[in-house]
């Protein structure tokens, strides 16, 4: 095992970056990081043609460790930056990593509009249902009733269903898994990258430091077990699983992506070019 893992790490993570990561021990972000790296590798994409973009929060720190082009942008705006990067370099695989607060609260508008455009990006939303970096405040994905440092009496908001929202907003590919289901996450990311339009992969993740501690699911193992026991693959028998969180691929449709459509705009514009300056 060690013989295989070490060169893989050297090849794909940044040697000049200090490890361990900034994340708490046992954080689910590491699972997502390694899944992304393995998916890129499996697809055999040249590292120079991958750009990893993030916003702000614990997830925002993820790209810095990976030896590809990496851009750590502002809170909530990662998809807007990524849109510019992708349009400037259409040949680039642009993968955007965001948290639930990052992508759904401050970045919620960018999220639905990026889905509406169905632009050729892959968005990975690490949903730990809390603001971790700032100390455990409730997020738009925090379940109703949950305790956070800003909902001491229980959260009264309804949580967003990220995957459903991505679906209705127009994303070409939408899938959900959890950090317990590592192989599944990797597979979905791989499929998402391969998909032409906008792909959204929601990964339920554990923040035992804040969400778990305040909501009585104490350690990382407890949270991983929670994901194991409380989720069900959407292709399995639904009987007995009605109350569980669904995992799986929810949307996989062929809708023309923004860049594909823009090529047509260029063709039309060139045809109609008859500009006189005076």
Residues that bind other proteins (CB under 8 A): 14, 16-17, 47-49, 51, 53, 63-64, 67-74, 77, 80-89, 91-92, 109-110, 113, 262, 265-266, 268-270, 272-273, 275-278
CA distance 245 to 247: 7
With respect to other proteins, which residue has the nearer C-beta, 216 or 270? 270
Q: How far is 68 from 40, CA to CA, in rounded Å?
A: 10
| Smaller CB separation from other proteins, 1 or 266 | 266
Residue 100 beta carbon to other proteins: minimum distance, rounded to whole angstroms:
19
Q: How distant, in Å, are the alpha carbons of 199, 270, 274 from that of 277?
A: 42, 16, 10
- CB closer to other proteins out of 14 and 213: 14
Q: How far is the CB of 80 from other proteins (least distance, A)?
A: 4
Smallest gap from Cβ 148 to other proteins, in A, equals 25
Angle subtended at Cα 56 by Cα 151 and Cα 122, rounded to the nearest 5 degrees:
110
Closest separation between CB of residue 269 and other proteins, Å?
Answer: 4
- Closest C-alpha among 235, 81, 109, 85 to residue 169: 109
Pairing status of strand 231-233 against strand 199-204 = unpaired
Nearer to other proteins, 67 or 184 (CB): 67
Name the residue among 54, 57, 35 with its Cα closest to residue 95.
Answer: 54
């Amino acid at each position: 095992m060690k013989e295989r893992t070490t060169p893989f790490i050297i090849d794909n993570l940044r040697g000049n970056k200090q490890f361990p990561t900034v994340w708490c021990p046992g954080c689910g972000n590491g699972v997502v990081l390694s899944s992304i790296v393995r998916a890129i590798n499996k697809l055999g994409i040249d590292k120079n043609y991958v750009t990893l973009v993030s916003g702000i929060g614990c997830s925002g720190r993820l790209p810095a460790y990976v030896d590809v082009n990496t851009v750590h942008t502002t809170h909530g705006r990662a998809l807007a930056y990524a849109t510019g990067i992708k349009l400037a370099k259409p040949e680039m695989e642009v993968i955007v990593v965001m948290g639930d607060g990052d992508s759904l609260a401050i970045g919620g508008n960018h999220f639905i509009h990026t889905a509406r455009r169905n632009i050729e990006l892959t968005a990975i939303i690490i949903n730990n249902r809390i603001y971790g970096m700032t100390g455990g405040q409730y997020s738009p994905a925090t379940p109703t009733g949950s305790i956070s440092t800003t909902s001491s009496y229980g959260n009264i908001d309804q949580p967003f269903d990220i995957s459903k929202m991505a679906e209705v907003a127009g994303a070409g590919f939408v899938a959900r898994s959890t950090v317990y289901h590592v192989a599944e996450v990797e597979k979905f990311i791989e499929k998402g990258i391969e998909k032409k339009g906008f792909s959204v992969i929601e990964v339920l993740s554990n923040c035992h430091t804040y969400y778990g501690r305040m909501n009585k699911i104490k350690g990382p193992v407890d949270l991983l077990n929670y994901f194991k026991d409380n989720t069900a693959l959407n292709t399995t028998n639904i009987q007995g699983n009605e109350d569980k969180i669904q995992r799986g691929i929810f949307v996989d449709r062929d809708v023309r992506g923004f860049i594909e459509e823009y090529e047509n705009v260029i063709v039309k514009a060139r045809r109609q070019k008859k500009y006189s300056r005076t």
